[in-house]
Amino acid sequence: MNRRIAVLASGGGRSLENLAEKIASGELEAQLALVVVNSPSAGAIERARRLGLECVLVDHRQFSSPQEFSAAIFREVEARDVALVVLAGFLRLLLVPERWESRVINIHPALLPKFGGKGYYGERVHAAVIAAGESVSGCTVHYVTNEYDSGPPLVQRRTQVKPGDDAHSLAARVFEEEKLALPEAIALHFASRAALQR
């Protein structure tokens, strides 16, 4: 069964490194086939190089529409026989072609459907959670549709919002849950695909 993954990242690539570690240790049965970044300043480029992974820049500023940008990404993905696309800190709208429905997942640093949608990313999410007086936060891995953060959830993990938390301290605890949730969701996805093929 094809378990080749493309990871899309806009930032430092910490989730990419976490996935690489889980695969190397045998905890996750998958193969990192490609890393796609949308900015030449993304830290994920250096992480991919250090991990010996192929990394491609598809700069969103070079395209006139989200449709053209998304099509360019899927051309790169399909050229490498990828089975699953993983958005890990990818901060652009990705329009998913029909042939890729239920084969693109995203990790979001909150318990969707709360604190999701356009503009809710990174520490903005955690600041909003604290401002709303929530006692629990966490992360959600979900299938990607053509609306921000609206697809069916695969995995949610929770953590407490502690008195005195700021966006930075809450983000650090949520990320510890993300490190567990994303590999778990990938394994669930492939397990469900394998079951369908039996």
Looking at the annotation, which residues are catalytic? 108
What are the residues whose beta carbons fall under 8 Å from the beta carbon of 31, sequence distance 6 or more?
3, 4, 5, 23
Task: Say if residues 7 and 16 touch (Cβ distance below 8 Å).
Answer: yes
CB 13 within 8 A of CB 44: yes
The DSSP output letter for 65 is S
Please list, residue by residue across 13-31, b when 16 or more beta carbons sit within 10 angstroms of its beta carbon and e when fewer do. Answer: bbbbbbbbebbeeeebebe
